[in-house]
């Protein structure tokens, strides 16, 4: 079920997809010229993307190499097969065709396996690959009058970020949605256009380039406004000076699994462009063909194609923010949808008085992780509509971009921090961090507290920490330069403290930790550094 809510919750009656045509992912065995591509990364990634990965110690690997176009062309040329999308991260294509025609593709030596969206059609036992998830004085410089948007901005103390000149400048954001009509003409987006911060886009649904993203449903326009909109003395988005790509991945005329593939393909493009933050106010639970639909038990972060793609985006260093969903009142499926169940920052909704909105999807995830990750105003949220006026709308569709813009402006204060560090700092600033609930997760962040903590921690060039080997089996060696009395805290990806040591020596035994990915935080009185640790 797509989490699109404008003014009213509306239920549409949609006919079932013809049973003769099925959706499936065809996975390939290999890629072409992998070693050459990785050795020459500018052939597959922009320089900004390479710089972002280098800054955060993110390796360029096989998944960054494009899918073999010869394989795609061969599949396209098969009778009865339509190729709708491709994914380099998963090395696959999304196809539509009859069961017989799709199964016939397994005869090619370059096809590794085929997964049907209708899992009843799969002959292989479904398995899930383990993904590696991988002092400044504050001077008031910006004085916005927030007008109608004041409550949703000030609830998160984003005004404090703006007052200290953190408005998203220099950060790059991608928004995946159902269309962005009037963004190219409305006065509310003059600021982002005149500053050359609307840097491009793509319509993955119709396969048309940049500015055709300005067509489709107006949902994306409203979502975008909560981040980038600006009307003097009337409305201010939470990241009005960030730069944006707008990607149309949602087709509102139907609900099929190909939209998950469009989203993953857009996330891959965002990564190759060096995007820092993704916002997606979409979610998937049920489809027109019920055989493709998910169940609450599938919301484990590793079942839905889009959630697994979101996990890789996070591993690649992107901070993915997504709406939790609008099914809190649905007794059969009240929990968060995909991709909110992944290792992303999922946002639920509260009203203007900071009270849980009953429609907001709840946690935890099916595997017990705390969800949502945070809350922002989503009941009677203020947006800008396609008439260029402020209006009120309901849905986590709007709490998500309000939060995503806040995180973008916050990250601007120290872009050397990793996405995982930033997410953790935002969680720790939230009012329910020590006592999370199923309805509100960690609660409402306080970006004033988070910013003060961020800027009061000084990291000097001559003070460094390095660790090896990484991945580590047991003994982790610690190289520390000019640092005494170094303390260590290790957190899992849920933000839970799992290991603590004071005045660490040059090696530490991590045999007690389970296999997985962790954040190791090293700190002294005036130094702090976090590193990603992979435990084998």
Please name the residues in contact with 525: beta carbons below 8 A apart, sequence gap of 6 or more.
none
459 is annotated as an active-site residue = no
Give residue 146's Cα distance to chain centre: 27
DSSP secondary structure letter of residue 394: -
Residues 6+ apart with CB under 8 A from 212: 203, 206, 248
Per the CB < 8 A criterion, the answer to whether 407 and 319 are in contact is yes
What CA–CA distance (Å, rounded) separates 387 from 390?
9
Assigned token pair, 297: 């038990």
Catalytic pick from 327, 393, 397, 430? 397
Q: Are 165 and 345 in contact (CB under 8 A)?
A: no
| CA nearest to 340, candidates 313, 322, 317, 358 | 322
Half-sphere exposure for 301 (CA within 13 Å, toward CB): 25
Annotated catalytic residue 276: no
For residue 255, give both structure tokens.
Answer: 């609900």
> What are the beta bridge partners of residue 235?
231
Q: How many CB atoms lie within 10 A of CB 471?
A: 11
Query: Which of the residues 64, 118, 159, 177 is marked catalytic?
Result: 177
The three-point CA angle 462-464-465 to 5° equals 165
Distance from chain centroid for Cα 30: 27
Give CA separation, 443 vs 170, 327, 426, in Å: 28, 18, 10
Strands ordered across the beta sheet of 92-97: 82-87, 92-97, 22-28, 111-116
219 is catalytic: yes
Q: Give SS3 for 84.
A: strand
**Degrees to nearest 5, angle at CA 42 with 37 and 48:** 135
- The answer to whether 273 and 52 have CB atoms below 8 angstroms apart is no
Name the catalytic one among 56, 197, 219, 251: 219
Look up residue 16 and give its two tokens: 């079932």
Choose among 334, 448, 352: nearest CA to 399: 352
**Locus of tokens 């303390």:** 487
Concatenated DSSP letters of 132-179: P--------------GGGHHHHHTTTHHHHHHTT-SSTT-EEEEEESB
Q: Judge residue 31's burial from the number of C-beta atoms within 10 Å of its C-beta, 0-12 exposed, 13-18 middle, 19 or more buried.
A: middle
Query: Phi-psi region for residue 339, left (φ > 0), alpha (ψ -120 to 50) or beta?
Result: alpha
Active site residues: 177, 219, 397
């Amino acid at each position: 079920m797509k989490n699109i809510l404008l003014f009213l919750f509306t239920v549409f009656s949609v006919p079932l997809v013809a049973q003769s045509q099925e959706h499936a992912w065809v996975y390939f065995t290999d890629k072409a010229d992998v070693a050459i591509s990785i050795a020459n990364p500018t052939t597959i990634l922009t320089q900004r993307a390479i710089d972002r990965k280098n800054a955060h110690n993110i390796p360029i690997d096989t998944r960054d190499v494009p899918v073999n176009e010869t394989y795609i062309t061969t599949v396209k040329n098969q009778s009865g097969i339509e190729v709708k999308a491709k994914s380099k991260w998963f090395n696959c294509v999304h196809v539509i065709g009859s069961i017989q025609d799709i199964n016939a593709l397994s005869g090619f030596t370059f096809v590794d396996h085929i997964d049907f969206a209708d899992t009843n059609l799969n002959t292989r036992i479904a398995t899930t690959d383990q993904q590696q998830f991988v002092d400044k004085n504050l001077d008031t410089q910006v004085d916005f009058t927030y007008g109608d948007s004041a409550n949703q901005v000030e609830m998160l103390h984003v005004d404090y970020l703006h007052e200290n000149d953190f408005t998203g400048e220099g950060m790059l954001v991608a928004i995946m949605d159902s269309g962005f009509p009037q963004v190219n003409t409305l006065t509310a987006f003059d600021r982002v256009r005149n500053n050359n911060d609307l840097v491009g886009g793509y319509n993955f649904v119709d396969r048309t380039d940049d500015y055709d993203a300005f067509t489709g449903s107006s949902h994306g326009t409203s979502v975008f406004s909560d981040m980038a909109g600006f009307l003097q003395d009337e409305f201010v988005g939470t990241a009005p000076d960030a730069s944006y790509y707008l990607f149309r991945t949602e087709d509102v005329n139907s609900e099929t699994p190909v939209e998950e593939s469009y989203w993953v393909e857009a996330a891959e493009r965002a990564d190759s462009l060096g995007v820092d933050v993704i916002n997606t106010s979409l979610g998937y639970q049920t489809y027109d063909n019920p055989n493709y639909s998910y169940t609450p038990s599938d919301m484990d972060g590793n079942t839905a194609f889009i959630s697994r793609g979101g996990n890789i985006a996070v591993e690649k260093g992107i901070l993915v923010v997504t709406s939790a969903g609008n099914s809190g009142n649905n007794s059969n499926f009240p929990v968060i949808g995909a991709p909110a169940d992944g290792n992303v920052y999922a946002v639920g909704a509260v009203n203007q008085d900071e009270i849980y909105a009953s429609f907001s999807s709840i946690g935890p995830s099916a595997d017990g992780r705390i969800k949502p990750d945070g809350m922002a105003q989503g009941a009677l949220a203020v947006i800008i509509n396609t008439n260029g006026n402020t209006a009120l709308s309901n849905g986590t569709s709007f709490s998500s971009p309000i939060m995503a813009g806040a995180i973008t402006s916050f990250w601007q204060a120290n872009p050397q921090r990793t996405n995982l560090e930033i997410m953790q700092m935002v969680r720790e600033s939230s009012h329910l961090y020590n006592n999370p609930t199923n309805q509100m997760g960690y609660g409402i962040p306080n970006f004033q507290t988070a910013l003060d903590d961020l800027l009061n921690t000084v990291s000097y060039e001559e003070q460094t920490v390095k660790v090896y080997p990484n991945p580590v089996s047991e003994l982790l060696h610690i190289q520390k330069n000019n640092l005494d009395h170094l303390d260590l805290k290790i957190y899992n990806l849920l933000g839970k403290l799992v290991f603590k040591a004071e005045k660490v020596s040059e090696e530490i035994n991590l045999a007690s930790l389970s296999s997985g990915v962790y954040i190791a935080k090293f700190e002294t009185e005036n130094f702090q550094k976090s590193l990603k640790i992979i435990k084998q």
